[in-house]
Amino acid sequence: MVLLATGILTLVALFAAGGRTAVRRLAGGAEPTTDQNRETGWWLARVEPALEEAWNAWSDLVLVVCLGGIGIGSFVLLVTSSSEEPPLGLLIAGFFGLNGALISLAFAIE
Tens digits of per-residue pLDDT, 46-77? 677 767 777 777 888 888 999 999 999 999 99
Asked whether residue 35 is domain-assigned, the answer is no
82 found inside a domain: yes
How large is the average pLDDT for residues 9-18? 78
Q: Is 70 within a domain? A: yes
Is the residue at 99 inside a domain? yes
On whether the pTM is more than 0.85, the answer is: no
| Structural domain boundaries enclosing 94 | 56-110
Question: What residue type is assigned to position 38 of the chain?
Answer: R
Please state, rounded to an integer, the average pLDDT across all residues of the chain.
Answer: 79
User: Residue 37 has what pLDDT?
Assistant: 47
Q: Is residue 41 part of a domain?
A: no
Task: Name the percent of the chain in helix, strand, coil, to the closest 5.
Answer: 80, 0, 20
Report how far apart, in Å, the C-alpha atoms of 62 and of each of 35, 65, 96 are: 31, 5, 16
- Least confident stretch, 78-82, 91-95, 97-101: 78-82
Angle at 86 between CA 83 and CA 91, to 5 degrees: 160
Structurally, the chain folds into a number of domains equal to 1
